[in-house]
Amino acid sequence: MQAIHFGGGNIGRGFIGEVLNQNDFDIAFVDVNVAIIDALNEKKGYTIELAEEGKPEVLVNRVCGINNGEDPEAVVSAFEKVDIVTTAIGPKILPYIAPLIAQGIQKRKAAGIFEPLDIIACENMINGSSFLKEEVQKHLESGDESYLEQYIGFPNAAVDRIVPLQHHNDILRVTVEPYKEWVIDQSQSKNKALRLEGVHYAEDLEPFIERKLFTVNTGHATTAYNGRYAGYQLIDEALRDESVLAEVKEVLSETGALMIEKWKFLPEEHQKYIDKILSRFSNPYISDELTRVGRTPIRKLGYNERFIRPMREAYERDLVVDGLIRTVAKIMAYRDENDEESQELARLLKEKGTKEVICQVTELTDQELIGQIAAAYHHLDSQSYLPQ
Ligand SMILES: NC(=O)c1ccc[n+]([C@@H]2O[C@H](COP(=O)([O-])OP(=O)(O)OC[C@H]3O[C@@H](n4cnc5c(N)ncnc54)[C@H](O)[C@@H]3O)[C@@H](O)[C@H]2O)c1
Ligand SMILES: O=P(O)(O)OC[C@@H](O)[C@@H](O)[C@H](O)[C@H](O)CO
């Protein structure tokens, strides 16, 4: 069987590639990184190293690369023979690959392929595949719509495995944490005959993706912004500081209270989930930079993202959100000269009032919440802090 995977980066090679390969797929990785694509085509395989005692290895083979910048036609052609399409490319990049996916769908239709195909966005975002579908639809003709609705599924998914930034002599080698979880919404799948081993198919993804995003990713990002504010570089290092750890625990107890009330997770089970996540963050075999986890702060301040969504939903239910508010204030102050969004945030705060910027980036409308975030921001010892 054949897979196309968009994004030959860390999670693409370090998780999606592993699962697809173990399910007997040949994988065409689509990426604009020339060095990665050339290496995939030359070596046709790569090694995943597990970040644990003994550093066991997993080999992934039967892979190739297609450079969508140089050879978009090859990507479109590959859609004729493909059995599954996945992405792990970053939420902001999905609109850029949507035209190619639309052409690939049109190619299948023109070739008279009436086999169902699932296209699964494995990004850290709620309803990532639904968002991709909307982007793809912008590039289809009205005559393609019924083909799309009948044969092409965009099941939403949640993907959990920590894969830090890393550099090896072998550019394809990738070190990953042992933990992994991939959940797909089966109610949105069109190719029901294809079920990947190692993937959990859920009837309703929402509780899973919210629990993952608002625990793993909210906790991770809280560590990053509070850790940077306290002057640290790495996730495990920041969590060894009691004050950072206390802030992370407080934020996770706030999002946890929401998850327990909204989705009826059992408090004891949810606490175990939190404890497991904190131990994953502290894995001594992984060195995860705070700048990776804090990357693209404007995206992370989005209305449906890891801070603002749980904050507004908890607030509506009269649950405590003080820790979330304090960390959002620190995101506003976060600076990384290599991160365009952090530069943009600094520019906005220079040009506009604090409350105006909060409204713009978070899309919050509740003046009380906006006022509390602004007050927390003005109470910070330093309203900008840089990675050293
Ligand atoms: N790393 C993790 O721990 C992790 C875990 C779960 C989910 N995710 C999610 O997976 C996605 C990818 O994250 P990552 O850490 O693997 O990032 P990454 O930067 O390692 O990989 C992204 C890849 O996309 C490629 N790319 C960028 N623009 C492109 C374009 N226009 N066309 C083709 N390729 C393009 C890049 O060259 C890169 O190889 C993100 O949505 C992230 O939130 C990451
Ligand atoms: O990829 P982002 O920028 O949405 O979030 C950064 C990290 O929190 C994230 O990549 C985690 O490592 C991952 O989501 C763990 O499953």
Q: How far is the CA of 161 from the centre of ligand 2 (A)?
A: 8
CATH, residue 165: 3.40.50.720
Give the tokens for residue 287: 């060195």
What pLDDT, in 10s, does the model give residues 150-161? 999 999 999 999
What confidence category does residue 329 fall into, taking pLDDT thresholds of 50, 70 and 90? Answer: very high
Assess whether 39 and 172 both reside in one domain: yes
Q: How far is the CA of 293 from the centre of ligand 2 (A)?
A: 6
Mean pLDDT, the chain, integer: 97
For 54-195, where are the alpha helices, taking DSSP H only?
Answer: 72-78, 94-110, 128-137, 145-151
162 lines ligand 2 (CB under 6 A): yes
State which amino acid sits at residue 248: V
Taking residues 306-328, report their average pLDDT.
98
Does residue 270 lie in a domain region? yes
Looking at 204, 230, 264, which one is the last position of a domain? 204
How high is the pLDDT of residue 386? 58
What pLDDT, in 10s, does the model give residues 72-118? 999 999 999 999 999 999 999 999 999 999 999 999 999 999 999 99
How far apart are the C-alpha atoms of 96 and 94, rounded to whole Å? 5
Assess whether 187 and 268 both reside in one domain: no
For 256-271, give one letter per residue: b (16+ CB within 10 A) or e: bbbbbebeebeeeebe
Q: How far is the CA of 113 from the centre of ligand 2 (A)?
A: 36
Assess whether 131 and 262 both reside in one domain: no
Ligand 1 pocket mutation, candidates 71, 89, 131, criterion most atoms within 8 A of CB: 89
Q: Which residue has the tokens 């304090």?
A: 326
89 lines ligand 1 (CB under 6 A): yes
**How many other CB atoms are found less than 10 A from the CB of residue 272?**
11
Residue 388 has pLDDT above 50, yes or no: no
ipTM rounded to 2 decimals: 0.99
Ligand 2 atom at minimum distance from 125 CA:
4
Assess whether 289 and 306 both reside in one domain: yes
Q: How far is the CA of 195 from the centre of ligand 1 (A)?
A: 24
216 lines ligand 2 (CB under 6 A): yes
Question: Which numbered ligand comes closest to the C-alpha of 172?
Answer: 1
What confidence category does residue 376 fall into, taking pLDDT thresholds of 50, 70 and 90? Answer: very high
In the chain, pLDDT over 70 holds for what percent of residues?
Answer: 99
Q: Which domain holds residue 293?
A: 207-378
For 79-191, where are the alpha helices, taking DSSP H only?
Answer: 94-110, 128-137, 145-151
Quote the number of domains for the chain.
2
158 lines ligand 1 (CB under 6 A): no
Looking at 172, 204, 236, which one is the last position of a domain? 204
124 lines ligand 2 (CB under 6 A): yes
What pLDDT, in 10s, does the model give residues 161-200? 999 999 999 999 999 999 999 999 999 999 999 999 999 9
Q: How far is CA 375 from CA 122, 200, 277, 335, in A?
A: 36, 43, 31, 19
Question: Which numbered ligand comes closest to the C-alpha of 70?
Answer: 1
Assess whether 317 and 328 both reside in one domain: yes
Residue whose Cα lies nearest atom 7 of ligand 2: it is 293
Q: Exposed, middle or buried, 57 (CB in 10 Å: 0-12/13-18/19+)?
A: exposed
Assess whether 110 and 150 both reside in one domain: yes
Does residue 388 lie in a domain region? no
Looking at 155, 187, 204, which one is the last position of a domain? 204
Ligand 1 pocket mutation, candidates 5, 11, 217, 290, criterion most atoms within 8 A of CB: 11
How far apart are the C-alpha atoms of 163 and 362, rounded to whole Å? 27
